[in-house]
A and B are shown apart, each in its own frame.
Chain A
């Protein structure tokens, strides 16, 4: 009942290429990219990307939004930790969305951030499926 991450290729350990499927209203948390490059291309539908500044060390206030944009079909985006943090959402209540993501080097943990306080929390990311096979937890 949330967006799914579906691994397509792991490039001999050099990158992760995956397809994300977003239902209506599905969104991600605010997250970083663990020192990796992250490319994203919209394959279907639209996704809203909101960029945030890194919170101050002590993180005790609402996080600052840098910018937001709606990415349309076939548009690409890039982010890494020096650019900032982002939240990606399918804000449509009628259409699903599909995006292609390339992470290099691959990573399976990242930090998620509470928008109200800037507090971060390390999480392990999981795949819904890998190479077409459903991943059983």
Chain B
């Protein structure tokens, strides 16, 4: 970027440097107080110096609303980007990302997140902490599973998951009541019943976490190291209505097919907090027909009917 940028154009609000071969954007950006939209797609950004140091302290950190870095060479989300507190819209489509940093949750104002066309293999549960996220695009990646915590994205309207490596979905996806669009094509979703997967016994940390949550042991952020406070906030509720327990990483997983009025059969993964929880749902014969299962069938079929309108072919 030319060195005199902020002197010549102090009132600049929109800067589009897409398709210019840019490899670095430096301090010239830091003194643009009015910039709300920065489009830098199809460049050679991705190495160190792609974004200036000190971005978090610049006026840009609060003023920037839209950032488009699609079609570049980012192999990881630059940490300095996560300091853009005012960002509403972020696109890193068509880069070389292998993962999403948990600190993505710092982008508290984010409404639109486009990460399609990367090499992402998993989604951190912290992504679900973005309170305003409406539109999440994760298509054309290598994602193998969706964390159940994603159902905490209460504002989510549109979720794009097509062309990934999903074999099942978490049952919690039915909880996304505001979801209007969901794309799932091009995933190897299992079509046949899959037997119970291996149950890994819980770690001591998990057992302690479960106790804290189910017994409502009070704690404040000052009582525990930050990583444990974060861990406790990721508890998931056991869907077995007779259990009321929570689980973190250790759970029994069971695939149940939810039939969308005979049109689609989506394999939903039920996470139960222990093998004892599986009895109300499925009989010992491990039958795959959903008619025999009672409890959650009604809530599942209501949710399924709503989801059917949402599923994009």
A2 at the interface (CB under 8 A from B): yes
For B312, what are the chain A residues with a Cβ–Cβ distance below 8 Å?
2, 29
Known contacts A24-B116, A30-B313, A116-B189; is A94 also within 8 Å of B94 by CB?
A: yes
B135 at the interface (CB under 8 A from A): yes
Q: Are B162 and A93 neighbours in the complex by a CB distance under 8 Å?
A: no
Q: Are A94 and B71 neighbours in the complex by a CB distance under 8 Å?
A: yes
Which of these binds chain B: A34-42, A76-84, A107-115, A126-134?
A107-115
Q: Which listed residue, B137, B189, B264, touches A25 by the CB 8 Å rule?
A: B137
Q: Are B70 and A93 neighbours in the complex by a CB distance under 8 Å?
A: yes
Q: Which listed residue, B135, B180, B189, B313, touches A112 by the CB 8 Å rule?
A: B313
Q: Are A1 and B116 neighbours in the complex by a CB distance under 8 Å?
A: no
How far is it, in angstroms, between the C-alpha of A126 and the C-alpha of B117 when the chains are bound?
Answer: 29
For A112, what are the chain B residues with a Cβ–Cβ distance below 8 Å?
313
Main secondary structure of the interface of B (DSSP, over half): loop
Chain B, interface residues (CB within 8 Å), range:
20 to 34
Q: Which residues of A20-49 are within 8 A (CB) of B?
A: 24-25, 27-31
12 further interface pairs, Cβ-Cβ under 8 Å (given A114-B264, A119-B264):
A1-B157, A1-B158, A24-B70, A24-B93, A25-B114, A31-B313, A92-B94, A93-B117, A114-B263, A115-B185, A116-B189, A119-B262
**Can you list 29 A-B pairs with a CB-CB distance of less than 8 A?**
A1-B181, A2-B181, A2-B312, A24-B114, A24-B116, A25-B93, A25-B116, A25-B117, A25-B137, A25-B140, A25-B160, A27-B162, A29-B312, A31-B313, A91-B140, A93-B70, A93-B116, A93-B140, A94-B42, A94-B71, A94-B93, A113-B313, A114-B264, A114-B313, A115-B313, A116-B191, A119-B263, A119-B264, A121-B313
- Give the 3 A-B CB pairs with smallest separation, nearest first: A29-B313, A93-B93, A93-B117
